[in-house]
Amino acid sequence: MTKAIKNLRDHLAEIHDLARAASVLGWDQQTYMPRGGAESRADQLSTLARLTHSKFTSSKTRRLLDQAAAETAPLPADHDDRRLVEIVRMDLDRETKLPGSFVARWSRDASLSTEAWREARQADSFRSYRPHLKKMVGYALKAAEYYGYEDHPYDALLFDYEAGMKTAEVKAAFDVLRPAQVELVRKLAERPEPRTDFLRRHYPAGAQGEFGMKIAKAFGYDTNRGRLDVAPHPFATKFGRNDVRITTRYDENFLPSSLFAIMHETGHALYEQNVSPGLDRTPLSRGCSSIFHESQSRLWENVVGRSRHFWERHFGDLRDTFPEQLSDVSVDDFYRGVNQVKPSLIRVEADEVTYNLHIMLRFEIELGLIEGKVEVKDLPELWRTKMEEYLGVTPSDDKDGVMQDIHWSGGSIGYFPTYALGNVMGAQIYETVMSRRPETRGELARGEYTGLLGWLKENLYTHGRKFMPRDLAMKLNGKPLDPKPYLRYLTSKFGEIYGI
């Protein structure tokens, strides 16, 4: 490593350490922090964020980048150090586009808005949330102007989650998915519902956690380099490649909640535990993008964890853990039960078939707001209309309607589509694995996950954030994001379950 590269890496390592320290503080805030700690924790996090930002956007970063660039130019295009310089320059250009005073105002108003959202949601009063949401849309629009864009202001917002993706691509994918998924939901609704009564029996939290972690370890989650804790909203977080933690929450009267949350977060954690050590302490030492990350959480949770193979292999173990609760349940009952398709009001509880429809509705609203074609005051009504149109259910209030998600309250617009497209990418990657490594199917049937993990590690996880999402998709699947594998997956899986 040359002197210039070393200097750049040392500088980035310091910034990285501050950001990871903030992650530890954030994790503690969600898991163990006593109530009284909130105020000092906010101070500490804000100090760390300010220092991280000011160190990264300092002239020193640009100077070190320029020096390193001169030395990495002759290197192969995909050399770690060359990509480091290129990605960091991209981040720096973006992070310096928003004026500091604008970011400060946004951040302060976002806190107030999120607080207002919490209260308004509790009181089911969209009216009191409305002015805040309007302000947040204003910030997003203004940010898009600062960032700049070629085709559509929404492109500039998508960038934070999926660098380089265009709004037109999202639209195109959704235009393929929407009619097919609406049609599938309609067809399944005509078929008899599977049994699900047994999912709502009493399942003690301790045993749920133990079983969940047995599965996580079987998937390949290394608990010498990670652990499970309880948090109000499940998440995965990384303090370093060798310290990647997951959280879950337990509903003792509904087994799937924590069971699949653990598998989901394990998917995120497997990605992060297996990024190349060569990228440690750099901004490249994490997953490529929101879509790629979500593709892995959903692949392990759904494609693997909600498959017939999986339950044929693991149901016995689950029944040993909960013998009374599952005494009258067959593998087939269980498999069908955890794959019930039922249009519902709440996105985070949605099944695989209806999930994307919740997202499309949100994407269409976001687009309308950004294009100025939709007004904040009309959202509750618009929400109800679209829910009825896509899912055939209508919320009776705004609490479980337009106010159900936290995202917009802080001005996060552009995030939602990556959830749906994560499902799409997950299915696409799974098809790739099956064609390149056909023995994987047999391994999964035998409960062997090292083959699948190994392939994903070698072809995806190890690269971290080294490639742009589009390039990584080409490298991995040989083609851009494509909704067809996901539709094939849904049709085949749920056709079989529902006997269509």
List interacting residues with a copy of itself (CB under 8 A): 13-14, 17-18, 20-22, 24-25, 28, 32-37, 39-41, 43-44, 47-48, 51, 222-227, 229, 239-243, 245, 280-281
d(CA 412, CA 131): 16
Residues 91 and 84: beta-carbon distance below 8 Å: no
**Strand, helix or coil for residue 247:** strand
Q: Smallest distance, Å, CB 247 to a copy of itself?
A: 12
Q: Smallest distance, Å, CB 104 to a copy of itself?
A: 15
**Strand, helix or coil for residue 360:** helix
Q: Are strands 228-230 and 236-240 parallel, antiparallel or unpaired?
A: unpaired
Facing residues of 81 across strands? Answer: none
CA proximity to 246, closest of 256, 231, 259, 260: 231
The amino acid at residue 82 is R
Torsion, Cα of 143, 146, 147, 149 (10° steps): 100
* Half-sphere exposure (Cβ direction) of 21: Cα atoms closer than 13 Å: 15
- Concerning whether 150 is annotated as a catalytic residue, the answer is no
Q: How far is CA 66 from CA 8, 82, 89, in A?
A: 10, 12, 9
CA proximity to 84, closest of 162, 164, 165, 7: 7
Give the residue with the Cβ less far from a copy of itself, 22 or 184.
22
**Strand, helix or coil for residue 240:** strand
The amino acid at residue 268 is H
CB contact set of 333 (below 8 Å; sequence gap of 6+): 194, 195, 198
Give the residue with the Cβ less far from a copy of itself, 223 or 435.
223
Q: Smallest distance, Å, CB 21 to a copy of itself?
A: 5
Is the alpha carbon torsion for 187, 308, 262, 484 positive or negative?
negative
Q: Smallest distance, Å, CB 14 to a copy of itself?
A: 5
Q: How far is CA 370 from CA 138, 216, 363, in A?
A: 9, 40, 11
d(CA 410, CA 427): 31
DSSP per-residue letters across 221-239:
--GGG--EEE-SS--EEEE
Q: Choosing from 162, 169, 265, 431, which is the catalytic residue? A: 265
Q: Smallest distance, Å, CB 225 to a copy of itself?
A: 3
Q: Smallest distance, Å, CB 231 to a copy of itself?
A: 13
Q: How many CB atoms lie within 10 A of CB 141?
A: 19
Is the alpha carbon torsion for 438, 442, 445, 450 positive or negative?
negative
Q: Smallest distance, Å, CB 220 to a copy of itself?
A: 14
Give the residue with the Cβ less far from a copy of itself, 277 or 480.
277
Return the active site residues.
265
